[in-house]
Copies of this chain bind each other. A is one copy, B any other.
Amino acid sequence: MHDKPIVVCLVIIAHKPQVMGAITIKILAEKLNLSTATISKALSDSHEISVGTKQRVLQLARELNYTPNVYAGSLRRHKSKTIAVVIPEIADSFFSLALNGIEEVALANSYHTLIYLTHEKLEREKAILKELAGGRVDGALVSVTAETDSVEHLYEFNSQLPLVFFDRVCPEIDTAQITTNDFESGYLATKHLIDAGCRKIALLSISNKLNIISERVRGFKKAIVDHNLNDAGSCVVECDENPDRNHQLISELMQRVDRPDGIVATVEKLTTEIYLVCHDLGLTMPNAVKVVCFSNQPSATIFNPSLTTINQPAFEMGKAVALALIKFLKNSSISLPDESIEIPSKLIVRRSSSN
């Protein structure tokens, strides 16, 4: 890697003289005293940006020979044949399965994969993407952290190198977004519990900054309304990264006078705590309480009782997101947003919600 960057630059410059200047969105932003987000949106003709601002941005972009959708950094550094995967954690079957899908596609296309863990910290996500934008990789596959409520760092990276999202996506960035049907899955899990007889359902969430979680919550609420259970005592409980605190929260929930008769857990890591609390309180599943979790754990079948799950297409989503990026790296004239797809999840009914 260290021995060849100059050669690589020369080769590419010979083919693409227009990218030599390396005019980035950041430079445009500085010259116009606007944010990089505004520049990016103006260049992609977003309705959020005024006509006047768009004209100023486009005029400067033309003057400086900036080419939107041509990733200068990528073209110069195309030879690393390496893609980064930036994810919150790996002790979760969704991400470990998705990584297997990503690696399968990367291997088949002779790309290396580097895995970076953010541990759900926005500051780490920013630092990792900043370092990567320096050219270590040809592009990045990202699933954002539970803290990610600003997108400047993602715009900035995307002005240097191609960026695609999976699962925890970022619709503000105009690129491929590989998702599953979180709204429908939240609805389906809740409707399944209602059909099984539940009337007071608790949804356990984590950070509502994540669009996948807010979509699941929206599906949950829609199912409650559609079945006229608004006033029956259903609720949303926000958990976090701390198993002890989650245990306490779930324990308090299940000791309320009007305790729920159904639980939808939106995160795999809550499973063990739910089972332990129910066991401690002598609440047998599915009689005293029925449970559905968003989870891909193979061991769900051997839990006591076996766990009803919303199974996400983790492996397929990993393949799709890697394919989108590699397709673009091979042919930068394709439109990344057009590579967006939604792959549906499945409800698998087991003993935790059904006799």
Contacts and interface: CB of A to CB of B under 8 A. Distances in A.
**How many chain copies?**
2
A90 B99 CA distance: 9
Q: How big is the A interface, by class?
A: 35 or more
Contacts of A306: 304
A171 interface: no
> Majority SS of interface residues in chain A?
mixed
Contacts of A286: none
A272 interface: yes
Given A2-B77, A115-B114, A117-B99, A299 B301 contact: no
B304 A302 contact: yes
A344 interface: no
Nearest to A304: B304
A51 to B, nearest CB: 39
Contact of A302 (B99, B116, B119, B271): B271
A96 interface: yes
A96 B103 contact: no
A5 B301 CA distance: 52
A297 interface: yes
Interface stretch (A131-139, A183-191, A195-203, A319-327): A131-139
Given A89-B96, A103-B119, 17 more contacts: A1-B1, A2-B77, A5-B5, A90-B96, A90-B99, A91-B96, A103-B117, A113-B116, A115-B115, A243-B298, A272-B298, A272-B301, A272-B302, A275-B301, A275-B302, A279-B302, A304-B306
17 contacts: A1-B2, A1-B135, A2-B2, A2-B5, A2-B134, A3-B5, A89-B96, A112-B131, A114-B116, A115-B115, A243-B298, A272-B301, A272-B302, A275-B301, A276-B301, A299-B299, A304-B306
